C-alpha cells in the first residue's frame, strides 16, 4: 500500500510540469499554407520558396507541388525575407510573421 501511495504522489507532483512544458512549446511555431501563382493566377509548380530569418539567418524552404502549393511550419514573431526561385527568375520579399489572432 505504501508503494501505491508513493507512486500516486510522484505522478501528482510531475503532472503540472508536463502540462507546463507542453504549453510552453506549443506557440513557438505555426503552420503556413503557401500558394504561388503568376499574374494570371496560374499555379507555378516546382518553385523553391525560401524563408530566411532576419534575426537568426536560418533558412526554411519548401517546394511547390503541381498545383503551386505547399505547407510548412515557421517560428512566429520573426521577420522573414521570402525568396522565390523559379525556373526563369527569382524574386525577394520581406514580411513579419506573428501569431496575432484575427
20 lies in a domain? no
In a domain, 75, yes or no: yes
Instruction: Write the CATH number for 73.
Output: 2.60.40.1120
- What local confidence, expressed as pLDDT, does residue 69 receive? 92
User: What is the tally of structural domains in the chain?
Assistant: 1
Mean pLDDT of 42-58: 89
Which structural domain, as residue segments, surrounds residue 43? 28-97
Q: Which of 100, 60, 64 is nearest to 82 (CA)?
A: 60
Percent of the residues in the chain that have a pLDDT greater than 90, as a whole number: 16
**Structural domain contains residue 92:** yes
Q: Is the pLDDT of residue 102 over 50?
A: no
**More confident site: 31 or 21:** 31
The answer to whether residue 52 sits within a structural domain is yes
Q: How many CB atoms lie within 10 A of CB 1?
A: 5
Model-level pTM greater than 0.75? no
Amino acid at each position: 500500500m505504501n508503494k501505491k501511495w508513493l507512486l500516486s504522489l510522484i505522478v501528482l507532483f510531475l503532472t503540472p510540469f508536463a502540462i507546463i512544458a507542453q504549453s510552453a512549446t506549443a506557440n513557438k511555431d505555426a503552420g503556413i499554407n503557401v500558394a504561388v501563382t503568376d499574374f494570371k493566377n496560374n499555379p507555378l509548380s516546382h518553385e523553391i520558396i525560401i524563408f530566411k530569418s532576419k534575426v537568426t539567418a536560418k533558412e526554411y524552404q519548401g517546394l511547390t507541388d503541381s498545383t503551386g502549393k505547399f505547407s510548412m511550419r515557421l517560428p512566429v514573431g520573426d521577420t522573414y525575407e521570402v525568396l522565390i526561385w523559379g525556373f526563369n527568375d527569382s524574386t525577394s520579399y520581406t514580411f513579419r510573421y506573428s501569431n496575432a489572432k484575427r
